[in-house]
Structure 1
Amino acid sequence: MMRLNLFEFYGHFCARYALEVLVCFVTMVVAAITLNVSSPYELCHWATNCVSKSSSESEISSDIVLLTLLRCGTILYVYMQLKKLWRIGSVIIVAIICSYTVFAVMTFSIAILHFLRKDLVIVSNALPVFLLLIDVSRMVIVTQHCLSMKSIDLLHEYIAEAMSALSPMATLDTLIEILVLVNIGAFVQIHQIQQLTCFACLSVIINYIVFTTFVPACLSVLLTLINKTPTDVTLVPSWHDVRFKKILQNEKHRHVSILPNHVKLILCAGLLTLQVVKYSRLTSNVKETSGSLQNSFDSLLSLNPEQFFTLILILILVSKYLLDDGYEIVSRLRRHSDTCMDSKASCPDIESKLSHSEEKIESLSDEQSCSSLLPRSFEDCLRLLKVGSDLLTNREIISLVEKNKLALYKLESELRDANRAVLLRREIFSKKMRDVKRREALQRIPHIGYDFTNATKACCENTVGYIPVPVGVVGPLLLNGKEYRVPMATTEGTLLASTNRGLKALYLSGGVKGHVYRDGMSRAPVVAFPSTERCCEMSDWLQDFYNFNLVKEKFDETSRFGKLKSISPVVSGRLLFVRFVATTGDAMGMNMVSKGAENALRWLQQTFTDMEVISLSGNFCTDKKPSAINWIEGRGKSVVCEAVLPAKVVKKVLKTDAAGLVRLSHCKNLIGSAMSGSIGGFNAHAANIVTAMFIATGQDPAQNVVSSNCLTNLELSRSQDGDDGEMNDPSLLVTCTMPSLEVATVGGGSTLDPQRACLGLLGIAGASASDKPGANSTQLAKIICATVLAGELSLLAALNSGDLVQSHMKHNRLPKGTKPDTDHSIL
């Protein structure tokens, strides 16, 4: 764990301070160029006696042949790597890998030319070895993992996670390769072989340094520069690719399942021991060994040792890297055993089957194929869980939960895979249910085809699935001269059809004008004092302008967007209710205002030491409850919209007349609501439209209690026609006033992909421009109010013409004999 944490810290450091790391790295390379290092030794000096290369014509010819073969093998390897990259289908990956290769080649060439004092001929001979040993596969994995992120704000964490997973294995592989090459260079007393092994060692070292340092810094800079998405960190980057979501988990599982780390450590120890033991013998018998090798190989294959060992080296390199480190063949042989991991992320065969029928595979869970595995202790499972959840089977994780070793509600954070956590939680709940019908009901709750990553972080706990709600689009809505297609999510038939009819009437009448006349989210703590006198003293103190600015300073320091606008203290006996009202940008702002109010109260207690904070919320706010104060003072956005409909549009589209609509609205919306003692309910059905749009755009549906406060007013508007002064049929003037509309375009459910897409349909997803904070949420409030106006018009028209019941019976009923379809495969 210490090793993993160290690499993660180093990767995060390089990604966070990318420019500084790149400057330092380039500076070190330049410094190496300027060094005047000379050595009396030849490039091959591991052996005490380095057999000099013969200058005979035959051996020079053999060198040319062997180097030609090496270069041809390199070209073939590079071609296959480029072909593999091309199959990925990502231009960004190809560009980054090419940049990485070019930089690494330049570093390697500079090291040979200037640091080792060699000429260009040596560089041309060394480059094929370097290209065969360059670590492209790990670079591809790091890049793919970074491209799978959904927020540019997580770039540094993703780079650190990838380096944490891959650097330990890269370190171990580098050590093994160096030890193997050192043994070859020490045992084979042939000049050509020793040169190639020396180049190979230098290649491995430079590859490792470039991978661990240059890669995280380079990725951090390049992905930030090529991101075409605006600087809002909640937006999905332009290069996001969902195909690479599981790439890092698959890589960790592959390394663990094929060649465990302890095997590589044993191999390192063996190579090091072999090098120490054999080195003394080699130095004393160099000439004998060389001679015996020469005789034996000449007699067997008619090849001199130089040709034979060079050919062996080429075959090893080609077989090792063209077969992708031999993992491809081994993975095919182990594919069946890999299913015992019982995880979709680590098994492509199960993944493909799950796309067709995941429910059946879940019930099997590969229990029969995995039954032969020896069970691991809870301690081992917990230790492996800290390394990576993909190392544990589903059965082992469920066992940890059942034995209270792992909290059920922490599955997402512990597994770092929300979709797998949902799958396991469903299985755990199903096992606890004795009633077969309830188990079947749980299985009918859909969960396939949904990414729970963001939802489980901030929107829902103990998640077992999702509830799909039909989403429709109405419009166009012509608001302040601009057209919108409005998304609405509902299960009430005729709602969208009715709203669409109202929008058509408004469009033909010239559209709607909308304005936000007040903006401020409220939070009202309740505090207590020993006496009513002290309550009144604090109330007077808070209403002083100078004191208000002191409190505002403490309130505003908790947020960039939360700015205190007013404080309204109200005394009730020895209790004081302090209603803070603040602007909150594009966020709905409950948490923002609560944090500011808490900080202000903490500071006020230093002045009013006898003040006791009873609750941060004293129901004087008021949140998610009907109240007169929200109706009068407002909460969130206070919006008003108006439209004038000509008589011919009312008659043609709404199938009624203006005078009848005015009379109906007066009797229903005003007198009827007053008779019932309604607070804010002076409308026909504003809550219908508000709730449907709230669900579609990721707002809190419970806040429709406050947000649906609406006063719909209809009036007749007459105008003169011509010089004779004759009056036309009266037009219809409609207004909707909504004083407490609580909406947001950032935070909460608005960050989920489907809801964010609906906001994107309106052109107001995410945060507004820095010079116009709150512009998106303000526009959303106006769109909702204008759509409410359309819905009010259409419903009142249906009531006035007597078409309401008929339309519901026609559009809100399934055809006779039709049964609801319970098959979720269509999802």
Structure 2
Amino acid sequence: MKIYEMTNDQRIDYLIKSGNLTDEQAAFLRAGKPISQDIADSLSENQIGTFGLPYGFATDFLVNGKEYLVPMSIEEPSVVAAASNGANRVKKSGGFTVKTSPHIIYGQIVLETNSADKLEILQQNRQEIIDLATAARPSLQKRGGGVVSLTFEIIADWNEILIGVNTVDAMGANIVNSMLEAIAPHISKLTETDVLCSILSNSGKSQLVDVEAKIDFDNLATKKMPGQEVAERIVQLSQFSKHSVMRAVTQNKGIMNGIDAVLLATGNDFRAQEAAVHSFFSTESGYQPFSDWQIMDDQLVGRLKMPVEIGTVGGAIKAMPMAQLSLAIMKINNSQELQAVIGAVGLANNLSAMRALVTTGIQAGHMSLQSKSLAISAGAVGSEIAAVSKELNRTKNYNLQEATKFLQKLRNE
């Protein structure tokens, strides 16, 4: 039986047998209480309840020689299906190769002046400032992190102090902000200048992942189109996206479909990720697509180089049981490993979308997976949902009117 044909309990049993879940973790999932009232109340303001999203997993991810099942939290089934489909095609040709960079977060202190003399004073006291920042988070050095850079610059009418911090496995916002607020008063005193603001930057420029996937033509073919032609058409569409912002935006949204779903499942900040990646690809020549596809040595080769701002410890990640469960299912050891998997998910979703667009079109597969949502919108419950979905997929009439009509017929019978 295929995984998407299993019941929820059967899928959980599958994860136990594959070694991705313990019996205790499985019992937690089956209980259907992903977050307690106390945790929810501590993570939000004016909290009155919890908002649920479906929680599933994508399959067949082979990343740097290691296999992963990847939890995803999203309301759109086609995103999970596309991730698994793309990953399977890449796996058959050897899997994803991913390089990651050190986990560096930057923080900014802005002074209400643009004086070169002030910057000289700061430069003379550079080590003292670094020592103060380190003292604000002493445990960070014990984990292998700490301040890695400190620069001073004039930007228009202001002086900027930019500090780079290796936050190891933490996303790092609270760490960096704590350091900034510890050193800002001293910097203000040294320069006799008011501080305009102290805050981290979500640029992500030093948290890059470089993902590569090579796919044999045979693993791209459809019933009506040979694999080489599919590859050539994907390359054409990739090139077009470099000249059309309208297309680039949509292509990038498809990549973020999968990435955001993993970020949600692991308790990470998808808003920071969106800001980082879209700014990274807003260049002087205009907004660009995240991915690039070419044909090399009789293979389709895809590459995705982008910032991935995540953590595996601290904050909401530590507080949310489902986030911890997701990391356990993936058997993730550190933040750079999670970065690599997330990058692979983005490229897998991109491959599936591009292949569908240049062959059968996106709607056929998308709507067949959305048929259950239509059934629910029509009022179907329990076994009615599957029955209405099956009828919609048979007739290919994917609209609420048809779903309501068949549901009424089903109930009359």
Report the TM-score, using the length of structure 1 for normalisation: 0.38
Structure 2 gap ranges (5+): 1-23, 282-289, 383-413
**Pick aligned residue for 1:689 from 246, 258, 267:** 258
**Pick aligned residue for 1:550 from 128, 139, 142:** 128
Structure 1 gap ranges (5+): 1-237, 243-446, 624-629, 719-729, 765-774
**Pick aligned residue for 2:95 from 503, 508, 511:** 511
Matched residue type, 1:616: S
Tell me which residue corresponds to 1:665. 238
Richer in strand (by share): 2
Structure 2 residue 73 is matched with structure 1 residue 494: no
Tell me which residue corresponds to 1:58. none
2-structure distance, mates of 1:789, 1:639:
11
C-alpha offsets along residues 451-472 of structure 1, whole Å, 9 cap, x if unaligned?
Answer: 2333333x22332221111111
Which structure 2 residues correspond to residues 112-127 of structure 1 after superposition, within 5 A? Answer: none
1-structure distance, mates of 2:379, 2:127:
61
2-structure distance, mates of 1:816, 1:460:
32
**Would the alpha carbon gap of residues 717 and 677 (structure 1) be closer, same or farther in structure 2, given more than 3 Å must change?**
closer
2-structure distance, mates of 1:683, 1:816:
27
Tell me which residue corresponds to 2:388. none
Contact 1:508–1:649 under 8 Å retained in 2:
yes
1-structure distance, mates of 2:379, 2:176:
45
**Pick aligned residue for 1:607 from 181, 187, 190:** 190
Tell me which residue corresponds to 1:396. none
Displacement, 1:571? Answer: 2.3
Tell me which residue corresponds to 2:209. 639
Give 3-state SS (helix, strand or coil) of 1:571's partner.
strand
Structure 2 residue 117 is matched with structure 1 residue 537: yes
Contact 1:514–1:786 under 8 Å retained in 2:
yes
Give 3-state SS (helix, strand or coil) of 1:813's partner.
helix
**Would the alpha carbon gap of residues 822 and 461 (structure 1) be closer, same or farther in structure 2, given more than 3 Å must change?**
farther
C-alpha offsets along residues 618-650 of structure 1, whole Å, 9 cap, x if unaligned?
Answer: xxx544xxxxxx3xx705x21111121111122
Give 3-state SS (helix, strand or coil) of 1:688's partner.
helix
Displacement, 1:558? Answer: 1.3
Contact 2:121–2:190 under 8 Å retained in 1:
no
Contact 1:526–1:575 under 8 Å retained in 2:
yes
Cα RMSD after superposing both structures: 3.0
2-structure distance, mates of 1:599, 1:650:
55
Give 3-state SS (helix, strand or coil) of 1:671's partner.
coil
1-structure distance, mates of 2:167, 2:105:
7
**Would the alpha carbon gap of residues 582 and 820 (structure 1) be closer, same or farther in structure 2, given more than 3 Å must change?**
farther
Tell me which residue corresponds to 1:563. 146
Displacement, 1:707? Answer: 4.6
Give 3-state SS (helix, strand or coil) of 2:171's partner.
coil
Displacement, 1:815? Answer: 7.4
2-structure distance, mates of 1:743, 1:552:
24
Give 3-state SS (helix, strand or coil) of 2:95's partner.
coil
2-structure distance, mates of 1:732, 1:537:
55
Tell me which residue corresponds to 2:66. 482
Contact 1:655–1:801 under 8 Å retained in 2:
no
Structure 2 residue 323 is matched with structure 1 residue 750: no
Structure 2 residue 220 is matched with structure 1 residue 650: yes
Tell me which residue corresponds to 1:616. 198
2-structure distance, mates of 1:685, 1:570:
37
Which structure 2 residues correspond to residues 48-67 of structure 1 after superposition, within 5 A? Answer: none
Displacement, 1:695? Answer: 1.0
Matched residue type, 2:213: A
Displacement, 1:528? Answer: 1.0
Report the TM-score, using the length of structure 2 for normalisation: 0.73
Structure 2 residue 272 is matched with structure 1 residue 703: yes
Which structure 2 residues correspond to residues 295-444 of structure 1 after superposition, within 5 A? Answer: none
Contact 1:639–1:737 under 8 Å retained in 2:
yes
1-structure distance, mates of 2:295, 2:380:
48
Displacement, 1:603? Answer: 2.2
**Would the alpha carbon gap of residues 605 and 698 (structure 1) be closer, same or farther in structure 2, given more than 3 Å must change?**
same
2-structure distance, mates of 1:539, 1:759:
44
Displacement, 1:784? Answer: 0.1
C-alpha offsets along residues 85-142 of structure 1, whole Å, 9 cap, x if unaligned?
Answer: xxxxxxxxxxxxxxxxxxxxxxxxxxxxxxxxxxxxxxxxxxxxxxxxxxxxxxxxxx
* Percent of aligned positions that are identical: 22
**Pick aligned residue for 1:737 from 296, 300, 305:** 305
Displacement, 1:684? Answer: 5.8
Displacement, 1:574? Answer: 3.8
**Pick aligned residue for 2:173 from 581, 590, 598:** 590
Structure 2 residue 327 is matched with structure 1 residue 759: yes
Contact 1:690–1:707 under 8 Å retained in 2:
no
Matched residue type, 1:736: L
**Would the alpha carbon gap of residues 520 and 817 (structure 1) be closer, same or farther in structure 2, given more than 3 Å must change?**
closer
Matched residue type, 1:686: I
Give 3-state SS (helix, strand or coil) of 1:616's partner.
strand
Displacement, 1:655? Answer: 7.0
**Would the alpha carbon gap of residues 705 and 568 (structure 1) be closer, same or farther in structure 2, given more than 3 Å must change?**
farther
**Would the alpha carbon gap of residues 655 and 763 (structure 1) be closer, same or farther in structure 2, given more than 3 Å must change?**
farther
Give 3-state SS (helix, strand or coil) of 1:803's partner.
coil
Matched residue type, 1:467: F
2-structure distance, mates of 1:613, 1:537:
16
Tell me which residue corresponds to 2:360. 802
Displacement, 1:484? Answer: 0.5
**Would the alpha carbon gap of residues 732 and 456 (structure 1) be closer, same or farther in structure 2, given more than 3 Å must change?**
same
Q: Pick the structure with greater CA Rg.
A: 1
Residue correspondences, number:
334
**Would the alpha carbon gap of residues 695 and 585 (structure 1) be closer, same or farther in structure 2, given more than 3 Å must change?**
same
Contact 1:528–1:575 under 8 Å retained in 2:
yes
